[in-house]
Amino acid sequence: MPLTDDEREQIAAFRTYIADAVGNDDRYGEAIKCDREDESTLAMQFEAGPSCWFEIALRPSIPQIRVGFLTDDRWRSEEVEQAIQDSGDTMEEFVEVGFEEAGLPWEEPPVEHYRDSGKYFYFATPLALEDLFELEQDVIRNKVLRMLDGYLIAFGPALEAEAAVEGEEDEDEE
């Protein structure tokens, strides 16, 4: 079902709020909209390093917000999987620790790990909404921002370690 004008306004206000909040945080890159043409998924991605992003995706027809990390690099996905395994935690526990450090207590949040469109490898946590009016609520907006911070806290060290290794390899080539 197509979005109504009111729903589009609610979504635009939510996305502006998120982009402004994250845009003032140097830990994230610029917000890039990655929307599906049919409006089934309206996503904002924030660069997290080469070939990887943090994402806030709104799925209006469900309604649901999905927050997570994605990469188009199979090896980077496997490296993240290895970092989770090395931690001794399940994916849910791994993300829970990041959420907790971000100020969001959520015991074993669901973590979906999948490949989308044959291109992207995702680690994402869904947040169900009763309806799109919830996008206007501070409690939802703050929860989404804490989820994003939680993913950065959880996945950031693995990305930083990989960036350091890549930097060493570049130096060796010179």
The pLDDT tens digits for 59-98 are: 999 999 999 999 999 999 999 999 999 999 999 999 999 9
Structural domains counted in the chain: 1
Query: In sequence order, what E strands does the chain have?
Result: 31-35, 42-49, 52-59, 64-71, 112-116, 120-128
The pLDDT tens digits for 20-37 are: 999 889 889 888 999 999
| Arithmetic mean of pLDDT, 136-157 | 96
pLDDT range class, residue 11, cuts 50, 70, 90:
very high
Identify the domain containing residue 89 by its residue range.
Answer: 5-173
The pLDDT tens digits for 116-126 are: 988 999 999 99
What is the reported pTM? 0.91
What backbone torsions phi and psi does residue 89 show, to the nearest 5 degrees?
-100, 160
**Could you tell me the end-to-end alpha-carbon distance of the chain, in angstroms, rounded to an integer?**
56
Please determine, for residue 168, whether its predicted confidence score (pLDDT) is greater than 70: no
